[in-house]
A = this chain, B = another copy of it.
């Protein structure tokens, strides 16, 4: 028994029924230990959530930066960033969902700290979009709304993507890059660079995939 197993069990429950609705006894049972033993690994239920969200956001920031550094122009950087965002979300749907939904369960201090990480990640998108707007590669009526729309539709992948569904991860990435390009009016001729799209590591906290509830992917 190690802390990763505890985190995986926790993420699976938190993603399915929420942080507040999950008791520590239930967490213990899911991890195969007594609820008291859980406190040997994590300081408290709250600390466990902080660990999960913190590691998720830090991995997103690191991965996002790597994706950006793999390209030079805003157009190509956007493709890398979107593709990473989609890959990360598709690879770690449950962890990503917990990091998004359960921020509200944190204490004010912890929430502010996690919000700073979230802001840091979103700043990557803001930067690319601003640069592309400056060079004229992108064209949109409102950069902020475009950023929110592009990020949100990528985040939504967690709701329906399943590893062995109708579409491969690569296909989903390609399609979301294409949709983002369209939103930003990137010319068709510039589309789909032959640079390989980034993948995303599976987090230690990501539990084994749960069976699909929809028949979308």
- Residues of chain A touching chain B, judged by Cβ–Cβ distance below 8 Å, are 16-21, 101, 104-105, 140-142, 144-146, 148-153, 155-156, 159-160, 167, 171-172, 174-176, 178-179, 182-183, 185, 216
* B145 x A172 contact (CB < 8 A): yes
Query: Could you tell me the dominant secondary structure of chain A's interface residues?
Result: helix
Indicate how many identical chains form the complex.
Answer: 2
CA distance in complex: A13, B191 (Å): 45
Q: Which chain B residues border A140 with CB–CB below 8 Å?
A: 179
* B175 x A142 contact (CB < 8 A): yes
Closest to A185 in B: B182
Q: Which chain B residues border A175 with CB–CB below 8 Å?
A: 141-142, 145
Which residue in B149, B160, B171 is a CB contact (below 8 Å) of A179?
B149
* A156 x B152 contact (CB < 8 A): yes
* A149 x B142 contact (CB < 8 A): no
Q: Which chain B residues border A101 with CB–CB below 8 Å?
A: 101
